[in-house]
C-alpha cells in the first residue's frame, strides 16, 4: 500500500495552531478502519513527525480527505509501500536508533566502526584548519598533510561505494571496481541530495559533494575525487591537486555516505565525541530531494475513535527490502 505524499496548505488543530506553516509536508495512507495523516518538515533533514498524527474513520477517498482537511497540493504516491525501507539506504521517516538498526538492517559493530573512521577524518580536518584558515585565497593551499588527508578521506569513500556494490551483488568487470561502476550508486542512494556546511568558515560555500557526478565522466565530474587520483598517483608533480578545499569536499562526501547508511541524526543528536565535533563544526541537510522516496511510517491508530483525532502515535519499525541496482 503506497502513501500519498503532498504539500499541506491548511489545517489547524486545538493545541497545535497552524501546524502546516512549520510542517508543510504530509504523508497519508488508509488502514482497514482509518485514514492517517502524518506531518513532516521540509528543511534540514526533512523529518517525518509521528508526534503530529491526524486520523479519522474511513469515509470517501483518501485523496479527497487530505485535500479537504489539509489543503493537499502536488499529491503523489510514495515509491515504497508504507512501512517499507531499503537496506542500508536512509531516507526521512527513520529517526531513532532502534528504527535505524532494524529498518536499515545495520548493526552496532558496523555503526561504531563507521563513527570512529568519520571521527578521525573530522579531527584531522579540524587540526588542518587550525593552521590554514579557509579564505578564498587559502582554499587552494596544499601540502603533504592535505595530500595525506585527501587520500585517507577518498579511500574511505571508495570503501563505502564498494560496500553497496557488494550488497547489490555487482561483479567487477576488471580487476576491481571503477568509477564507471560506482557512479551507478548516485541515484539509488540519493547522493546529490546531501549538502554539508561549515558554519564557522564563511569563505566555504555549502558543499554538495555528489551533485555533479555524471556517468559521462564518472571521475572528472567529481573534482575532489579527480584531484585525489592525481595526488595519489603522482605525489611529486601533482601535489598541488591536494588542496584544502578538496579535503573539505572529501570529508563532506564521507559525511554524506555515513548519513546514507546510518542516517544523519547520529551526527548531531548522539552523545559521543563525533556528535560533539560535528555540532561545533558542521551541518548536514538535504536539498532538492524527492519526498516520494521517503519512508512514510506505519503508526498505531487502532485504538483511536473514528472521529477526527490528533496527537502522538507510536511508530512501528520499518521492514527493510534488499538493496538492488
What does the pLDDT look like over 165-217, one tens digit per residue? Answer: 999 999 988 789 999 999 999 999 999 999 999 999 999 999 999 999 999 99
Closest CA to 262 of 139, 127, 98, 125: 98
Residue 113 CB neighbour total at 10 angstroms: 11
- What element of type H or E holds 26? strand 25-30
pLDDT score, position 269: 83
* Count helices and strands in the chain by DSSP H and E runs: 9, 10
pLDDT score, position 173: 80
Calculate the CA 224 to chain-centre distance. 20
Tell me the pLDDT tens digit for each residue of 295-308. 999 999 999 999 99
pLDDT score, position 142: 95
> Taking 90 as the threshold, does the pLDDT of residue 27 lie above it?
yes
Q: What is the mean pLDDT of the chain?
A: 95
Tell me the pLDDT tens digit for each residue of 69-104. 999 999 999 999 999 999 999 999 999 888 999 999
Residue 10 CB neighbour total at 10 angstroms: 13
pLDDT score, position 290: 96
Tell me the pLDDT tens digit for each residue of 242-264. 999 999 999 999 999 999 999 99
pLDDT score, position 300: 94
pTM of the model: 0.95
CB 282 within 8 A of CB 197: yes
> Taking 80 as the threshold, does the pLDDT of residue 126 lie above it?
yes
Q: How far is CA 153 from CA 37, 159, 246, 254, 303, in A?
A: 41, 10, 10, 7, 50
CB 282 within 8 A of CB 198: yes
Q: Which residues contact 241 (CB under 8 A, 6 or more apart)?
A: 142, 227, 228, 230, 231
CA distance 32 to 147: 59
**Residue ranges covered by each domain of the chain:** 2-92+290-321, 106-286
- Give the single-character DSSP code of 314: P
CA distance 57 to 37: 12
Amino acid at each position: 500500500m503506497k502513501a500519498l505524499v503532498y504539500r499541506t496548505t491548511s489545517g489547524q488543530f486545538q493545541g497545535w495552531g497552524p501546524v502546516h506553516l512549520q510542517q508543510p509536508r504530509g504523508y497519508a495512507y488508509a488502514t482497514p478502519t482509518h485514514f492517517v495523516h502524518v506531518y513532516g518538515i521540509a528543511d534540514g533533514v526533512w523529518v517525518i513527525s509521528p508526534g503530529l498524527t491526524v486520523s479519522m474513520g474511513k469515509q470517501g477517498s483518501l485523496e479527497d480527505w487530505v485535500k479537504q482537511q489539509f489543503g493537499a497540493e502536488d499529491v503523489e504516491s510514495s515509491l515504497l509501500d508504507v512501512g517499507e525501507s531499503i537496506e542500508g539506504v536512509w531516507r526521512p521517516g527513520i529517526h531513532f536508533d532502534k528504527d535505524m538498526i532494524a529498518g536499515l538492517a545495520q548493526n552496532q559493530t558496523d555503526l561504531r566502526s563507521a563513527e570512529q573512521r568519520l571521527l578521525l577524518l573530522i579531527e584531522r580536518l579540524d587540526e588542518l584548519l587550525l593552521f590554514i584558515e579557509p579564505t578564498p585565497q587559502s582554499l587552494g593551499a596544499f601540502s603533504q598533510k592535505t595530500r595525506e588527508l585527501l587520500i585517507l578521506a577518498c579511500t574511505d569513500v571508495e570503501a563505502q561505494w564498494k560496500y553497496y556494490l557488494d550488497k547489490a551483488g555487482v561483479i567487477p568487470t576488471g580487476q576491481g571496481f571503477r568509477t564507471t561502476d560506482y557512479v551507478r550508486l548516485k541515484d539509488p542512494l540519493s547522493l546529490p541530495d546531501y549538502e554539508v556546511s561549515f558554519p564557522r568558515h564563511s569563505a566555504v560555500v555549502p558543499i554538495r559533494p555528489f551533485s555533479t557526478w555524471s556517468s559521462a565522466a564518472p571521475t572528472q565530474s567529481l573534482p575532489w575525487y579527480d584531484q585525489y587520483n592525481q595526488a595519489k598517483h603522482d605525489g611529486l608533480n601533482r601535489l598541488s591537486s591536494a588542496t584544502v578545499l578538496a579535503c573539505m569536499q572529501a570529508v563532506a562526501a564521507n559525511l554524506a555516505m555515513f548519513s546514507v547508511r546510518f542516517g544523519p541524526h547520529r551526527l548531531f543528536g548522539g552523545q559521543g565525541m563525533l556528535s560533539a565535533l560535528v555540532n561545533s563544526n558542521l551541518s548536514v541537510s538535504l536539498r532538492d530531494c524527492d519526498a516520494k522516496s521517503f519512508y512514510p511510517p506505519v503508526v498505531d491508530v487502532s485504538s483511536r475513535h473514528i472521529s477526527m483525532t490528533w496527537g502522538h502515535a507510536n511508530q512501528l519499525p520499518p521492514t527493510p527490502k534488499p538493496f538492488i541496482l
